Structure formats: C-alpha cells, structure tokens
Amino acid sequence: MDIDGTLVLDTFAEAFRLRFGRLIVTAHDDHWLVAAAAAACGYGTSVLGCDAEVGAEAWLAPDATPDGRPGVSLLAFAFTAEDVGRALANRTGQCLLTCPTVCVYDGLPTATERCPLGAHVRFFGDGFEKTKVIAGRRYWRVPVMDGEFVVEETAGVEKGVGGGNLILQGRALEPTLAAARRAVAAIAEQPGVITPFPGGVVRSGSKVGSRSQRLRASTNEAFCPGLAGRVPSELVPAAACALEIVIDGIDETTVAAAMAAGIRAAAGPDLVAIGAGNYGGRLGKFHFHLHRIPGLF
C-alpha cells in the first residue's frame, strides 16, 4: 500500500501492557513551565533502562488547569503501579518541587488505583508543611523560598499501552529526519499519547536480548544500513537510513490513531517506506497491523 509515494509495509507494531500516571503541572509563566517539563521528562525514554517513559501529553491554557495558570499534562509509563508511583514521586521531588513557581496536581482523579505523591514529598517541609482538603481531594502545602509548593497527596494509576512504533526508511538522512519531525508533530496533536525519546525519535532501535548477558536489549541490526550485506536486513533496497518513533498511549485506540497520524504526516516522495518493529508476536499482547489501522487508507 502506498501513501504519497511512500510504501507502507505489511507488518505490525508489537506493544505491551504498561501502567501510567498523569500529572498536571502548572507554573507562573511559560518559561518556568517549560523548564519544569524538561526536567521532569529527562531520562525517561525506555523502561528497559529508566524508571519510566515520560513525556508531555499536552500543553494547557490557563482556563484548563486547576489554578488558572499555564500548565502541561505529563504522562509516565512503567511496568507496574508501584513503578509508576516511585517515578512520579521521585521526579516530583527532584524536578518539580525544585522549579520556581510550580504546583502539581493529579491528572487521574477518578482512578481507583492510587500511589503516594505529596504524601511522600511533604516530608521536605520538615514539619512546617500544611494540608487541606478541597472537594474531597487532599493537597499539601510545602514551604519553599518563593512561597509554597502545592502538591496533591496521591496520584491515580491506570492501564495503558506502551511500545507502539513506526520505523521510517528514507533515501538519505536529511529527508528522513524531516519526515520524522513531521510525524512527531502530528502525533503530538493527538490526545492521550507521548513519544518519549529525544525529539520523539529513536535512532538506536533495539531488539530483545544481547550477546552480553548484562544487557536486556541491543541494537536491531536488521535496520542498520551499515550492516546491510553482513546480516539479514529488513531495510527496503533504496533505504539509506532508518529512524523509529515509539508511542505510548492511554489505550489501544489512542495509540492506533497516533500511528495513523504519524504515517500520514511522514509520507512523501523522499521517504521510501514506513514499517514497524515487532518480535514475531511472542512478547507483546497488542499488535497494530499497519494495513488495518482504522482510517489510514
């Protein structure tokens, strides 16, 4: 199948069940909001090596936040609810408590599964912190040098999907980078998803396992152009490079919609093919077949 001169390969992305939490972060202005989001999302690319996969879901206008200030919705994905809770609490304490003017609210208030958030971070107040319940939700007010840090006591955790992906194959690096940027920008417009890698793009696509017993994953040699001819390749003949986009979402529908948006945006004459990464269907319960994505063709 072809979109705007780009071949969409007959393959599928293999994704996994993960848990996720959502934080609503607000700040005095956009400068401090961007600084807070950048810090909180740092080192949050892959659960194979990080505590969580973290990214900005959406930037929020003041009329869409709990305190009427600029905000951002952050999603964090990990294998278990406990893992999500630890990642949210650690990143809140290290990256959001420390950022001037920031406050943190739970973005999943109706979730029945809960993890401690302010219940942990409040101890930084050294006994001077105060608590207040508003509309059934408990908040902590921790004294800091620019006033106080407001943080919700707990955060909700729900089931999500991690590891949806696209692999873009191009004739040269420059147009492939441009296609990847178009895809990431289009995916960013979709609700309920993040692309957690740098700039939303992965150049070091991986496979499960390694020759080294210390590694859980290693380079996916089938997509490395420098190894073509030395190992079995999954690159189409005209491809000179490949880039991957990994998508985590709140459910299957959002991941599929994001993949469709990414494919449509990336396609063009300089992009030879779009495929996806999988492990033969053995490891992940969610299979996103590119030719069956609703509304793509």
pLDDT value at position 209?
A: 84
Phi, psi angles (nearest 5°) of residue 261: -65, -40
Rounded Cα distance, 204 and 207, in Å: 10
φ, ψ (nearest 5 deg) of residue 269: -60, -30
Whether 241 and 170 have beta carbons less than 8 Å apart is answered as yes
| CATH topology assigned to domain 2-15+160-292 | Alpha-Beta Plaits (3.30.70)
Delimit the domains of the chain by residue range: 2-15+160-292, 19-158
pLDDT band at 210 (very low <50, low <70, confident <90, very high): confident
CATH code for the structural domain at 19-158: 3.30.70.520
CA distances from 104 to 38, 72, 144, 286 (A): 15, 10, 14, 32
CA angle, residues 221, 224, 228, in degrees to nearest 5: 90
Q: How far apart (Å, rounded) are the C-alpha atoms in residues 37 and 54?
A: 10
Nearest to 83 by CA among 168, 135, 18: 18
Give the pLDDT mean for 240-257: 98
19-158 shares the fold of 2-15+160-292: yes
Q: What is the pTM of this model?
A: 0.96
Predicted confidence band of residue 281 (pLDDT cuts 50, 70, 90): confident
**Confidence class for position 13, pLDDT limits 50, 70, 90:** very high
d(CA 215, CA 206): 11
**Average pLDDT of the segment spanning 257-283:** 95
